[in-house]
Amino acid sequence: MTDQSETEQATAAAGTDRPEEAPDHPPELMDKLRSLSKQRGFIFQSSEIYGGIGSVYDYGPLGVELKQNIRSAWWEAMVHQRPDIEGLDAGILMNPRVWETSGHVEGFTDPLVECRNCHRRFRADELDEIEAGRPEEQQCPVCGVTGEFTEPRQFNLLFKTFMGAVEDESSVAYLRPETAQGIYVNFRNVQETGRQKIPFGIAQVGKAFRNEITPGNFIFRTREFEQMEMQYFVEPGTDEEWFETWREARMEWLTDSLGIRADRLRFEPHGPDELPHYAKRAVDIQYRFPFGWAEFEGIHNRTDYDLSRHQEESGKKLSYYDQKEERRYVPYVVETSTGLDRTFLVVLADAYEEEEIDGDERTVLRLSPELAPVTAAVFPLVNKEGMPEVSERITEDLREQGFNVSHDDSGSIGRRYRRQDEAGTPFCITVDGQTLDDDTVTVRDRDTTEQDRVAAARLGEYLDDALDG
């Protein structure tokens, strides 16, 4: 063990000198992200025409593309580029004994208090005075009344439902609160069919559901969300080494693959009194949001807790026989657990900038070109003289080459540029009068606003080079 803190180690892993305090986002950024997301089709309030539903969101045309690109980047790094990790897609509904064994039915709770004046409910551990044992001094964040809270009670976060035609205790089922348990109960299935040897991992991306008491901060804490989780099964005694390996690898992926600024990321280790019941060691990766540092990914040393519990309760072997060492053991698990929706918010917040160019203010999303919902937008300079037909032909040609491109012929060219800047589109391609003479077009770079003249026939090659670079 060195004297170097985990935050300092994060800086070293990211290859940058971190200042003591990362630069703040402006406090109004969350409101701006909400507005931009609605205006440009990233995120909508679910069931909006009926007044919405608490902390559930729908991803619009641009949002679903950005989310898919983040998901694909994670899957590429975790599964496609690693022979030692297999993919899985387990069911959302599972035998309820899974959740009894994992401890979720009895212990998946948060402390809840209610204001007697306005009847709003809150997590007790998020109210400073109540957490400090001074409930009489706690002011309600909504109505402002002081000292009018009920005693804390435990509130279970599982969504309960029923399977079959009869609603009774024998038909109780739960919407999964995490994807990890589907991996544990399939450990032997995947290990044997994949012919994997320890160490190896199982990765999964999927929906999870938690009946949060106080969801909020846009898509940061919602009741329906998506997780990207990987459970890495290792020989007991090697778990700490693998924990360090995955801790460093995850930070590197965030900075190198997603392009997140290293000075807005940090490791936050769990203290002994903060560890989950299943964990020997845990560390969060936090981002500096406008509302403060908050976790969006965790790395956990879960020991053999989960496999041993399921083996004991199911009566089925979830151990591994090491032929080389001629011994059988229950593997330890090093988990990387990422919230896809929270990562989406990190990417959006980190890319958002406002700047002035030649006296004109613009909003721009400086998304990594590989993540951008649309790679390029094609414009006719004017809607006449054959330019729309040429721009549509170029659009179709690029789509046939596998690029996600859009066509926009509405409004002035400057307004179209601004729309694409707000959508995070890296390149804008304009068909103008010169195009009709020599079949070249202008390609405008989103970040620099500089323009290149490129032969229309070479656009695919140009975009490929730009994406690779």
216 domain residue, yes or no: yes
Three-state SS for 349?
helix
- Asked if residue 346 lies in contact with residue 336, where contact means CB atoms within 8 angstroms, the answer is no
88 and 54 within one domain: yes
Cβ neighbors of 10 (< 8 A, separation 6 or more) are 18, 251, 262, 265, 266, 267, 285
- Asked if residue 229 lies in contact with residue 336, where contact means CB atoms within 8 angstroms, the answer is yes
Which value, in Å, is the radius of gyration of the alpha carbons in the chain?
Answer: 25
Alpha-carbon distance of 82 to 273, in angstroms, equals: 35
Q: Which structure tokens are listed for 259?
A: 């392009």
* Domain edge (last residue) among 348, 365, 387: 348
Phi, psi of 288, rounded to the nearest 5 degrees:
-85, 90
Q: Number of folded domains in the chain? A: 2
Three-state SS for 108?
coil
386 and 327 within one domain: no
**Residue that is written with structure tokens 């976790």 in the block:** 295
307 and 386 within one domain: no
Phi, psi of 330, rounded to the nearest 5 degrees:
-90, 120
**Residue that is written with structure tokens 């038909």 in the block:** 171
Indicate if the alpha-carbon torsion angle 446, 450, 451, 452 is positive or negative.
negative
337 and 413 within one domain: no
Q: Which portions of the chain are predicted below pLDDT 50?
A: 1-20, 22
Q: Which structure tokens are listed for 305?
A: 């807790």
Alpha-carbon distance of 281 to 3, in angstroms, equals: 18
25 domain residue, yes or no: yes
171 domain residue, yes or no: no
Indicate if the alpha-carbon torsion angle 11, 15, 19, 23 is positive or negative.
negative
Give DSSP secondary structure letters for 278-303: T-SEEEEEEEEETTEEEEEEEEEEEE
391 and 323 within one domain: no
Alpha-carbon distance of 391 to 389, in angstroms, equals: 6
Three-state SS for 431?
strand
Cβ neighbors of 248 (< 8 A, separation 6 or more) are 9, 13
320 and 381 within one domain: no
91 and 47 within one domain: yes
At 247-281, the pLDDT tens digits run 999 999 999 999 999 999 999 999 998 898 889 99
Alpha-carbon distance of 394 to 427, in angstroms, equals: 14
- Asked if residue 25 lies in contact with residue 349, where contact means CB atoms within 8 angstroms, the answer is yes
147 domain residue, yes or no: no
437 and 294 within one domain: no
116 domain residue, yes or no: no
Alpha-carbon distance of 78 to 14, in angstroms, equals: 19
Res 44: pLDDT: 97
Alpha-carbon distance of 335 to 301, in angstroms, equals: 6
Cβ neighbors of 412 (< 8 A, separation 6 or more) are none
At 20-66, the pLDDT tens digits run 454 578 889 999 999 999 999 999 999 999 999 988 999 999 999 99
Mark out the alpha helices in 79-215 (DSSP H runs): 96-102, 104-107, 128-131, 180-184, 187-193
Look up the domain containing 221 and give its range.
6-96+178-348
Res 23: pLDDT: 59
291 and 221 within one domain: yes
29 domain residue, yes or no: yes
148 domain residue, yes or no: no
Of the candidates 77, 19, 71, 12, the residue with the CA atom closest to the CA atom of residue 250: 77
* CATH label of the domain that carries residue 317: 3.30.930.10
Of the candidates 424, 468, 469, 425, the residue with the CA atom closest to the CA atom of residue 443: 425
Report the amino acid identity of residue 32: K
Alpha-carbon distance of 394 to 456, in angstroms, equals: 7
Res 360: pLDDT: 87
Alpha-carbon distance of 91 to 101, in angstroms, equals: 17
310 and 421 within one domain: no
Alpha-carbon distance of 432 to 382, in angstroms, equals: 8
Torsion of CA 264, 267, 272, 276, to 10 degrees: 90
359 domain residue, yes or no: no
* Domain edge (last residue) among 304, 332, 348: 348
How many other C-beta atoms can be found within 10 angstroms of the C-beta atom of residue 36?
A: 18
382 and 324 within one domain: no
Q: Which structure tokens are listed for 334?
A: 């090093």
* CATH label of the domain that carries residue 452: 3.40.50.800
Torsion of CA 264, 141, 157, 102, to 10 degrees: 50
199 and 243 within one domain: yes
Q: Which structure tokens are listed for 238?
A: 């090697």
Alpha-carbon distance of 288 to 276, in angstroms, equals: 23
**Residue that is written with structure tokens 């606003």 in the block:** 449
- Asked if residue 372 lies in contact with residue 426, where contact means CB atoms within 8 angstroms, the answer is yes
